[in-house]
């Protein structure tokens, strides 16, 4: 299967040959600090979310979606090209289909999220904040990703 | 700069995360997501001849890997420079008492140290929470084709129905873990619901 099979959009956009990587490192630093200081990397906040006890996590995710949607709509409306001069390809409601892997994989992800209390971004951030046990969690996530790659031909999609 | 040391409220953090999506589309023409980095790391280290890992991970994944390296550094910045390891997360009193009823005692820091430490990995609960939870996060994110960043934020923001389905799955799984698995694992006593 090619990268185009990636169901959440594609990760296969051809890279610009001259594209510097440091801006992505910088973006990561910003995000890592944000995940910790906004407490979305907190196991306690994740339990609070799944117990419906506070608005915090819903506020973070909800306002992120609204701002992101506004930004995407603006990019589309202006017909902007990316910084490399290429037209931007947006996945959309019409180009994506619900398949079993979204529900089944999503549920498996949610089971893990409720246990370890961190999704992949916060896993990296927690490791950096000085919690070596989250290095073990990250290795387990890598083992999970590898196992998916191994079982992929036998799993429903 | 004292405000940077306080917890950042959701109405600051959420919009800042949201801006990343159009910024990454605009800068690199890319869909923002984090869990693809797990795939790239597998492809780089142990492809084992599997189709899923047979692609040019340097070409498609360098930006993801640069970003997550930054996230590790940013975690240090947020947790050690702009914060302290034992800063208490101000969760709702109901959550706190429910967790206490399950036996959680340590409420300092991002996560309960009595369950999450290298030493706790030798206990059944610690092992399931860290290794079982981590495994399912990686496995499920790749099966679903994205995690919280790629599906719940990037995907919902561009109105993808597949992302909505994945987010429904995230919640089904999370509710099962928080309300069934966690009390079972922690051997909850006292007969709470």
Q: For B164-174, how does the pLDDT look when each residue is reduced to its tens digit (9 = 90+)?
A: 999 999 999 99
Domain boundary among B64, B87, B110: B87
A100 has a chain B CB within 8 A of its CB: no
| B59, B101: one domain | no
Confidence grade of residue B1 (pLDDT, cut at 50, 70, 90): confident
Q: Is the predicted ipTM greater than 0.90, yes or no?
A: yes
Query: Strand pairing partners for B108?
Result: B88
| B107, B33: one domain | no
Q: Which candidate, A138, A136, A126, A121, places its Cα nearest to that of A28?
A: A121
Is-contact B128 B142, C-beta < 8 A?
no
| B25, B82: one domain | yes
| Mean model confidence pLDDT for chain B | 94
Summarised one tens digit per residue, pLDDT across range B97-137 is: 999 999 999 999 999 999 999 999 999 999 999 999 999 99
Query: Does residue B189 register a pLDDT over 90?
Result: no
| B101, B82: one domain | no
Domain boundary among B35, B56, B87: B87
Whether residue B12 is contained in a domain is answered as yes
Whether residue B145 is contained in a domain is answered as yes
Lowest-confidence segment of A4-18, A56-70, A84-98, A140-154 by average pLDDT: A4-18
| B105, B193: one domain | yes
Average pLDDT for A11-18: 57
Q: Do A35 and B23 touch (CB under 8 A)?
A: no
> How many helices, marked H, and strands, marked E, lie in chain A?
6, 0
| B102, B191: one domain | yes
Range of the domain at B169: 97-193
Q: Is the pTM of this model over 0.90?
A: yes
Tell me which residue in A59, A111, A128 faces B14 most closely, judged by beta carbons: A59
Q: What is the pLDDT of residue A4?
A: 36
Q: What is the pLDDT of residue A13?
A: 54
The position carrying tokens 């999609």 is A157
Domain count, chain B: 2
Whether residue B188 is contained in a domain is answered as yes
Confidence grade of residue A17 (pLDDT, cut at 50, 70, 90): low
Q: What is the pLDDT of residue B79?
A: 97
A110 has a chain B CB within 8 A of its CB: yes
Tell me which residue in A8, A83, A133 faces B130 most closely, judged by beta carbons: A133
| B193, B101: one domain | yes
Query: Does residue B76 register a pLDDT over 90?
Result: yes
- A35 to chain B nearest CA, in Å? 8
| B11, B83: one domain | yes
Whether residue B92 is contained in a domain is answered as no
Whether residue B127 is contained in a domain is answered as yes
| B101, B47: one domain | no
| B139, B47: one domain | no
* Closest Cα in chain A to B76: A129
Query: Does residue A5 register a pLDDT over 60?
Result: no
Buried b (16+ CB within 10 A) or exposed e, B1-40: eeeeeebbebebbbbbbbebbbbbbbbbbbbbbbbbbbbb
Whether residue B64 is contained in a domain is answered as yes
Domain boundary among B17, B52, B87: B87
In terms of Cβ atoms closer than 10 Å to its own Cβ (0-12, 13-18, 19+), residue A17 is exposed
Query: Does residue B139 register a pLDDT over 90?
Result: yes
Average pLDDT for B10-34: 96
| B152, B76: one domain | no
Q: Do B173 and A142 touch (CB under 8 A)?
A: no
Q: Do A115 and B132 touch (CB under 8 A)?
A: yes
Query: Does residue A11 register a pLDDT over 80?
Result: no
Whether residue B37 is contained in a domain is answered as yes
Q: What is the pLDDT of residue B6?
A: 94
Q: What is the pLDDT of residue A58?
A: 98
A52 has a chain B CB within 8 A of its CB: no
Range list of H helices, A38-132: 43-50, 56-78, 100-116, 120-128
Average pLDDT for B44-52: 97
Query: Does residue A2 register a pLDDT over 60?
Result: no
| B62, B118: one domain | no
Q: What is the pLDDT of residue B192?
A: 43
* Closest Cα in chain A to B30: A13
Query: Does residue B181 register a pLDDT over 90?
Result: yes
* Closest Cα in chain B to A134: B130
Confidence grade of residue A3 (pLDDT, cut at 50, 70, 90): very low
* Closest Cα in chain B to A62: B14
Q: What is the pLDDT of residue B135?
A: 98
Whether residue B135 is contained in a domain is answered as yes
């Amino acid at each position: 299967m090619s990268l185009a099979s990636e169901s959440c959009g594609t990760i296969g956009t051809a890279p610009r040959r001259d594209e510097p990587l440091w801006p992505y490192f910088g973006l990561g630093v910003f995000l890592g600090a944000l995940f910790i200081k906004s407490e979305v990397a907190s196991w306690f906040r994740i339990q609070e979310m799944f117990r419906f006890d506070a608005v915090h996590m819903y506020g973070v995710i909800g306002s992120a979606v609204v701002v992101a949607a506004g930004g995407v709509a603006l990019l589309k409306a202006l017909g902007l090209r990316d910084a490399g001069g290429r037209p931007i390809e947006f996945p959309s409601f019409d180009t994506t289909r619900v398949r079993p892997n979204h529900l089944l994989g999503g549920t498996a992800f949610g089971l893990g999220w409720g246990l370890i209390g961190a999704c992949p971004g916060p896993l990296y951030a927690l490791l950096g904040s000085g919690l070596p046990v989250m290095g073990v969690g990250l290795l387990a996530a890598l083992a999970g990703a590898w196992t998916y790659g191994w079982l992929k031909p036998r799993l429903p999609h | 700069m004292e405000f940077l040391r306080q917890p950042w409220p959701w109405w600051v953090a959420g919009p800042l995360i949201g801006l990343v999506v159009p910024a990454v589309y605009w800068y690199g023409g890319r869909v923002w997501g984090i869990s693809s980095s797990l795939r790239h790391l597998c492809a780089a280290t142990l492809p084992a001849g599997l189709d899923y890992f047979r692609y040019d991970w340097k070409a498609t994944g360098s930006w993801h890997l640069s970003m997550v390296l930054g996230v590790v550094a940013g975690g240090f910045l947020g947790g050690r420079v702009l914060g302290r390891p034992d800063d208490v997360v101000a969760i709702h009193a109901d959550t706190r008492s429910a967790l206490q009823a399950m036996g959680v005692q340590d409420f300092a820091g991002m996560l309960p140290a009595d369950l999450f430490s290298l030493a706790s990995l030798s206990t059944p609960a610690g092992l399931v929470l860290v290794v079982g939870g981590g495994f399912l996060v990686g496995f499920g994110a790749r099966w679903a084709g994205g995690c919280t960043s790629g599906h719940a934020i990037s995907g919902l923001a561009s109105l993808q129905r597949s992302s909505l389905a994945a987010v429904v799955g995230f919640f089904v799984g999370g509710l099962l873990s928080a309300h069934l698995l966690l009390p079972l694992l922690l051997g909850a006593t006292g007969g709470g619901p």
